[in-house]
Structure 1
């Protein structure tokens, strides 16, 4: 499965919002700059996040966005499915009636197992997990040793 740009950039944008400490708004232009996403495209990416109840958006000169939920309550599978729909590699996994061979097809079984593994990994990871990993990476970059 190849994730769409929307899913990848939407996840990065959500991470950037979560990294913004406190309950204060962060302007979309700052999210766009920090994540190197064009502002018009970022605005498109925000719509499903706002509609899904993951982000609160306010307009005006002091407007911006902030998380609507605690990062530990946002599962990554929900974000990926928000942008991708099903994460099944082939349509017959979710809709076996599409193919007469579904009940006897061992390759469908393999695709189904792959979907289960992906769902398991994405379902076990939260936005808070990504925040923690990002902070660890940022801290390791800051450590410099001089001789």
Structure 2
């Protein structure tokens, strides 16, 4: 499975909203400028996130977007599945021979465990020294 820019930039949106959680709405323009991304592309990504309830839009002169829930309740897996679809290293898993099917399922489960065990709050609080909060260590 390869994560496209949809998943990567979707996580960027969510991390920026998590960093400012409780401080009011943030415009996509602000997120785009601070991360050197296309505002138009972010607009396309925020729609499925809004439909899934992960973000809410606030209208008005000081409007923008806020998280739809607490950042510790939203996982990276939630965002990736919303924007990229199911997490699977190969397509047609049911057609594989048993040994390869078992391998692909182990890989899928390991990736799923990492994504579902990492919250948006964890990503927003990532320290520049390479440590996740609470010293997370992931093994795949």
Normalising to structure 2: TM-score of the pair?
0.85
Bigger proportion of residues as helix: 1
The offset of 1:75, in angstroms, is: 1.3
Give the aligned CA root-mean-square deviation in angstroms. 1.5
What residue is the counterpart of 2:133 in the other structure? none
Rg larger in 1 or in 2? 1
1:66 aligns with 2:59: no
**Length, aligned pairs only:** 129
Per-residue deviation, residues 74-116 of structure 1 (Å, max 9, x unmatched):
01111111111111111233xx2xx2xx4x4311211111001
What residue is the counterpart of 2:3 in the other structure? 3
Q: 1:132 aligns with which of 110, 117, 125?
A: 125
* CA distance in 1: counterparts of 2:87 and 2:98, whole angstroms: 19
What residue is the counterpart of 2:87 in the other structure? 87
What residue is the counterpart of 1:49 in the other structure? 49
The offset of 1:34, in angstroms, is: 1.2
* CA distance in 2: counterparts of 1:47 and 1:36, whole angstroms: 20
Equivalent residue of 1:26, what SS? coil
Aligned 8 A contact 2:32 2:39 in 1:
yes
Q: Which has the higher contact order (CA 8 A, sep 6+)?
A: 2
Equivalent residue of 2:12, what SS? helix
Aligned 8 A contact 2:21 2:66 in 1:
no
* CA distance in 2: counterparts of 1:81 and 1:120, whole angstroms: 13
Where in structure 2 are there 5+ consecutive unaligned residues?
Answer: 130-140
